[in-house]
Chains A and B, each alone.
Chain A
Amino acid sequence: MPSILPALEWLEALAWATAIRESNWGYPIMETAHVASIVAFAGVVMVMDLRLVGLAFAQTPLTRIQRPLFPWQMAGFALSGVTGLLLFVVDPLRYYGNVFFRVKLVLLALAGFNALGFHLTIFRKVGRWDEDPLAPTTARLAGAVSLLFWSAIIVSGRLIASNWFN
């Protein structure tokens, strides 16, 4: 299997990547934007998951919470994704080799599949259980899994900076 390393080295050498890597303010601003957008996005997702598992907002129909928030969620996810991608390009070799970065990406994919599965199946019939304080079992499961995954994503993201297991 061809090595990805030359591609990563090419990315690392890009002028703008180098500029950010050596910047006084650019990197701190980008990294802070990444952390802030994740906190906002994951925070909203996890609070909605609390509704799904029945721990909060039990008296409010799910869609009444979810519908107005959905565009903001997408914006928050887009911002985290874009800043994350840019941060990766600034130091691709370091992140590629970092176990917590790899774990974070796997967890992101899994969280995405969980969300997709939820939206394509049980959420399609939300009209039937929207007002129930206790959602159907599959919905509660999806919510619990999401809570777990997003907490783990935040944890692994923070541990990328720790230099452990380098």
Chain B
Amino acid sequence: MKTKIIVALLTAGVLGAGQSALAHHPFAAEYDAEKPVTLTGTLSKMEWVNPHSWIYMDVKQPDGTVQKWTIESSGPGAMTRRGLKKTDFVAGMSLVVKGYAGRTKPAIANGRTLVLADGRSFYIGTVGGPNDGADKQ
């Protein structure tokens, strides 16, 4: 019995050590922690849904074109607990989103920080990602 527990713990330790530090969670399979982005633009649509919300924004590029970004963010429960309301998101409003860009898909990001036009800043991260929660405002 004791041997089984020891073997189990050792195997678990090896399995745990074998995971790259960036292999946090499914986050790492889709988004790249080495590609932080800051997106400034206007809100096109906000899907306030479970399990994760989706922010769609128009980001004006330096060359004048508009790039449409999709940002995955926390679900309604977490948003509400952090002080946000569905009505805080009005189509056309200005906003800034900081997050991490997608690994392979273009113009997609995992959102971490949201800054509204009135200056209020919120953590909008989903589970996983680097510094797990340490980058909260």
Sample of 5 further A-B pairs with CB below 8 A, known A22-B48, A24-B77, A28-B75: A27-B75, A28-B50, A161-B26, A161-B51, A162-B26
Interface residues on A, range: 10 to 19
Q: Chain A CB within 10 Å — which of B48, B50, B51 has the most?
A: B50
A163 near B48: Cβ-Cβ < 8 Å: no
B77 near A25: Cβ-Cβ < 8 Å: yes
- Check if B29 is an interface residue, CB within 8 A of chain A: yes
B50 near A23: Cβ-Cβ < 8 Å: yes
- Check if B107 is an interface residue, CB within 8 A of chain A: no
Residues of A within 8 A of B51 (CB): 27, 31, 161
Q: How far is the CB of A109 from chain B (nearest CB, A)?
A: 26
A28 near B26: Cβ-Cβ < 8 Å: no
- Check if B91 is an interface residue, CB within 8 A of chain A: no
Q: Mark A15-35, 1 if CB is under 8 A from B, else 0.
A: 000001111110110010000
Cα A98 to Cα B90 with chains together (Å): 30
Residues of A within 8 A of B60 (CB): none
- Check if B61 is an interface residue, CB within 8 A of chain A: no
Closest to A21 in B: B49
Q: Mark B63-74, 1 if CB is under 8 A from A, else 0.
A: 000000000000
Cα A25 to Cα B81 with chains together (Å): 11
Q: How many A-B residue pairs have CB under 8 A?
A: 35
Closest to A20 in B: B50
Residues 25 to 57 of chain A near chain B (Cβ within 8 Å): 25, 27-28, 31
- Check if A10 is an interface residue, CB within 8 A of chain B: no
B48 near A162: Cβ-Cβ < 8 Å: no
Residues A162 and B29 in contact in the complex (CB < 8 Å), given A22-B86, A23-B50, A28-B50: yes
Closest to A27 in B: B50
B26 near A90: Cβ-Cβ < 8 Å: no
Q: How far is the CB of A84 from chain B (nearest CB, A)?
A: 15
B50 near A22: Cβ-Cβ < 8 Å: yes
Q: How far is the CB of B77 from chain A (nearest CB, A)?
A: 4
Residues of A within 8 A of B49 (CB): 21-22, 91
Closest to B79 in A: A24
A24 near B80: Cβ-Cβ < 8 Å: yes
Cα A7 to Cα B29 with chains together (Å): 33
Cα A24 to Cα B74 with chains together (Å): 11
- Check if B130 is an interface residue, CB within 8 A of chain A: no
Residues of B within 8 A of A31 (CB): 50-51
Cα A162 to Cα B51 with chains together (Å): 12
Cα A28 to Cα B79 with chains together (Å): 14
Cα A51 to Cα B77 with chains together (Å): 43
Q: Chain A CB within 10 Å — which of B48, B76, B86 has the most?
A: B76
Q: How far is the CB of B23 from chain A (nearest CB, A)?
A: 14
